[in-house]
Each structure stands twice: as structure tokens, then as C-alpha cells.
Amino acid sequence: MSVHSPRPQRGLRFFFSALAVAVVLAGCASTGGLQPAGRMTDADTLKSERSLANATLSDAAFPKQDWWTALGDPQLDALIAEALAGTPSLDAADARVRQATAQAGLADAARKPTLGASAQYAGLQLPETVAPEPLGGSYSGVGLLNLNFKYSFDLWGAHRARWQAALGQVRASEVDAQAARLTLSSSIARTYVALAQAHDARDVAVAEKKRASELLSLGRQRVAAGLDNQLQIRQAESAVAAAEQQTQAAQQQIDAVRNALAALLGQGPDRGLDIAAPSLLKTPPPAVPTALSSELLGHRPDVVAARWRVEAASQGIAASKADFYPTINLSAMVGLAAGNLSDLFGSDALLLNGGPAISLPIFDGGRLRSQLAKSDADYDLAVADYNQQLVGALREVADALQSARSLDAQIVAATQARDAAQEAWRLATVRYRAGLGTQLDVLAAQRPLLDHDRQLTVLRAQRIAAAIDLDRALGGGLVLAAPSHSNSPIAKATTP
């Protein structure tokens, strides 16, 4: 009497019946009442026209990618080029890109079928104290060769959504790597400006020390001639000591800034000793693009990265919703099995096992709803971060532009004051040479001139720093691809 295997049709009828029941029962785990609350801010609703009313507007006002060359210092150009060739901070950013790419590869692999091979030999001997003969006391072994196939059908798009979410994180990390380069170049430029200011401050302090020393020498001569008392000498000695302190403070600042530049280059402090005093830096005129708010979306790396994270979070919601539906997996095993190795490749050794399997959530203790609630919160957090980055980007542009305008006005006024002090010193010198004044008058007139020189060095450094801040606020010449708002699957995801 032969035993026949069940018909394939009977198995298929059972499977589809189970699938129909699964779809009906899937309603027991519902997404009802769960949805994200975050809404991305439309850039055009953030008004900045009045704040930028006096700015120079241009359709091509975004900086170039090598924006620092506008400062006109070849040494600065070389330092930034050296840093962009590779530093620990850039290496870390690039490693995060590779990490996100590998994670996306794992998500992509989950969408694809797998095939594996295995070989096994297992032996068993039962003791006669457990089973009598013929089972007990005899040894038997089985050799097994098989191929295993597995595939999970992505009927509701869960695997694809997780892969797209991972791709969004890859795009965000790639933009973050660009942001790291912009941050590094702007930090070097700003630190370089601080080095220029420290050198100028030391030059002014040296000039002040020379003036105070001449005043001390003159005071001693006047005391020796009986024309003055010790008060003038003590005041001059105090001025000399103060000027020496300012000189040493400026030198300390030079050393500290050189060390900072060396660290930004990823080098030891000795690298900073090779950095010469900066040449005269140029001050580019401030300008902003005409359509500032909307144009920033493609130039600011922090805004674009935040937008990609919103896209990734929206895909996370789609994946969490898809988990509420039944899943269908297909597995199959084809192999050879025999008790004797000589029979392993015989026609009777064929081993087959496999078929589709369906699973569905009915009662899971609220796990799926909690996961969806977390995905919704992740999306809201990403949206809030995007909105904050957009608002912050516009504020940085306005701050840099307004600082540049204010500093330009301050420099004009300070230059006028300095020119007046220069003229007063010139007149005092002319009077002294004509015998109508004293050397004391000349040295006294030089003091406010040096004070104005010191003030101008600070203002000019701040003005160049404002130009650097504006270039960075406008994205540093980067042109980046952001996801389209229409790509978000939030509205497309089906709710059970």
C-alpha cells in the first residue's frame, strides 16, 4: 500500500484561507489615534526684507566655494587647503558617512532573498539502559547536505521604507561632512583674523612703550634741570610698565592663536611657529541674494541635513505602519540526507522542505503602537530641528550683515577720530620743531593717536570676522540637494 503526499492545491487553499483570516484579524492591532504633529515651516513665511532693507541684493550673492580667497592672503589659502586635505575632525565626519552607508546596505539586504549552503554530520548511540536492542547499544549517523532559501515578501513596503529611511540618514551624513569642511575652513579663517589682530595689538603696544620710554627720559631730564618733580617720572615709569604688560599680553595671544591654528590643521604646536604674521587682509563688501529665505534651503548644510532627517523619519513612520499588517515569508530547503555516506548522493537521498508562512500581530501588549508612537515622535523631533535650523540660519545671516554694516560705520567714525589725532600730533611736532612747543606736547599728542590705532585694529578684525560669518551663514558656496516636500510618505502611508 502506497502513501500519497497531499496535493499542492490543498496546501495553497489552506494558505490563502489563512491569509484572508490574517487580514481580518489584523484590525485587532490598530494605528487609530496615532499621527505626527510636526509641520515644517515654509521658508518664505520667515520674513527678512525689512531687516535686510539696506543690504546689497544680488541674484548671485552666494559666496564661492573658495570664499576665503576674497580675503587676499595666500598664507591663509594655503592653511585652509592643508586642513581640507585631512584632519581628525574631517576623518570623523567621513567615517560617519561610511557608517551610515553600511547601515543602508544592511537595510537593503533585508529586502533581498538569501541563499546559503551547509553540510552536517550527526551521530547518535543510545545506551541499552535507555532503550533495548535493536535501538540501544548501536550507533547510527546521518550525513546532510542542503541549500537554504529565504525570502520575505514586502507587500506593505516596510522593508523598502526602512531602506529609504537609511538612505535619508546617508544623505544627511554626507551633508554633515560638507558642513564639517565649512566649519573647519571658517574656524581657520576666523582664527587667522585673530592672529592678525594680535600682531597689530603688539605693534601698537611696542609703539606705546617707545612713546612712554621717551616720556620717561624727558621727565628725568626735566627733573635733573629742576623743571619738574618726581611725579612725572613715576607716571612715565607706570606708563612704560603698562606698555610692557600689553606687549607681553599681545605676544601671549599670538602664541595661543598659533597653537589653535596648528590644532585646527591637525598638527602639533610646532606647526604654529611656522605661521608668519598675516598680510593686510581685505574686507569684502557685504551682499545677500535676493530670494534669501528659499535659496538658503539649497546652500546651508545644516538646513539641508535636517531636511534629509525629516525625510528619513517620515519613512520610519511608513515602516512602523506597515508592521501592523501580516507578513509573508517563503523558505525552502533542498538537500541530501543518508545514514551512510556512500548513499548520500543516491536518488533516494533527496530531502525537500519548505513553503510560505504567514504571521500577523493580534495582541502584542501595545508594542506596535508604542513603536509607531516613537516613530511619530522621531518625526516631530526632526521637524522641530529643521524649523529651528531654518530660523537660526536666517538669524545668522541677519546678524552677520547687520554687524558688517554697523562695523563699517564705526570704522568710518574711528578713522575720522584717528585722522584728527594724527593731525594734532603733526601740529604738535611742527610747533616743537619751530621752538613754539615742547617735546612733552608731542608725546602727549601721540597717546590718543595710539589709542585710536588700537581701537581700529579691533574694529577691522571684527569687520573681517563679520564677512567670514556672512559667508558661512550663506552656506560657504555649497550647492546641496534636498529632498522634495512631495516625497514624504506621511500622507501616502495606509492606516489599518
Contacts 24+ apart (CB under 8 A), 13-19: 15/355, 15/356, 15/358, 18/358, 19/326, 19/328, 19/358
Q: At the fourth CATH level, which superfamily is domain 33-111+165-198+245-325+366-487?
A: Outer membrane efflux proteins (OEP) (1.20.1600.10)
The CA distance from 444 to 176, in Å, is 55
In tens, the pLDDT along 314-344 reads 999 988 888 888 888 888 888 877 777 666 7
Could you tell me which residue, 23 or 366, shows the higher pLDDT?
Answer: 366
**Statement: residue 299 has pLDDT above 50:** yes
Share of the chain above pLDDT 90, in %: 15
Share of the chain above pLDDT 70, in %: 81
Give pLDDT, residue 5.
47
Give pLDDT, residue 492.
41
Question: Of 460, 146, 479, nearest to 298 (Cα)?
Answer: 479
Mean of all residue pLDDT scores within the chain = 80
C-alpha cell at 438: 615742547
Beta strands in 179-265 (DSSP E): none
In tens, the pLDDT along 65-97 reads 888 988 889 999 999 999 998 888 888 889 989
Domain boundaries, the chain: 1-30+113-153+326-359, 33-111+165-198+245-325+366-487
Question: How would you class 74 by CB atoms within 10 Å of its CB: exposed for 0-12, middle for 13-18, buried for 19 or more?
Answer: exposed
Q: How far is CA 459 from the centre of its chain?
A: 31
C-alpha cell at 352: 525537500
Give the lowest-confidence range in 271-275, 292-296, 453-457. 292-296
Give pLDDT, residue 383.
92
In tens, the pLDDT along 165-219 reads 888 889 888 888 888 999 999 999 999 999 998 998 888 888 878 877 877 787 7
Give pLDDT, residue 263.
92
**Statement: residue 346 has pLDDT above 80:** no
Confidence of residue 23 (pLDDT cuts 50, 70, 90): low
Q: How far is CA 413 from the centre of its chain?
A: 39
Q: Quote the DSSP letter at residue 492.
A: T
Q: Which amino acid is at 61?
A: A
Give pLDDT, residue 227.
64
Mean pLDDT comparison of 39-48, 131-140, 405-414, highest-scoring range:
405-414
Could you give the dihedral angle defined by the CA atoms of residues 43, 47, 52 and 57, in that order, rounded to the nearest 10 degrees? Answer: 50
pTM assigned to the model: 0.79
Asked if 383 contacts 308 with a C-beta cutoff of 8 angstroms, the reply is: no
Give pLDDT, residue 229.
65
Containing 120, the helix (H) or strand (E) segment is strand 114-125
Q: DSSP letter string over 19-78?
A: HHHHHHHGGGS--TT------PPPGGGS--TTTTTTSPEETT-SPPTTGGGGG--HHHHH
Question: How would you class 84 by CB atoms within 10 Å of its CB: exposed for 0-12, middle for 13-18, buried for 19 or more?
Answer: middle
Give pLDDT, residue 56.
57
**Statement: residue 9 has pLDDT above 90:** no
CATH architecture of the domain with range 1-30+113-153+326-359: Single Sheet (2.20)
**Statement: residue 282 has pLDDT above 90:** no
Asked if 240 contacts 285 with a C-beta cutoff of 8 angstroms, the reply is: no
**Statement: residue 221 has pLDDT above 60:** yes
Collect all residues with Cβ–Cβ distance below 8 Å to 14 and sequence separation of at least 6: none
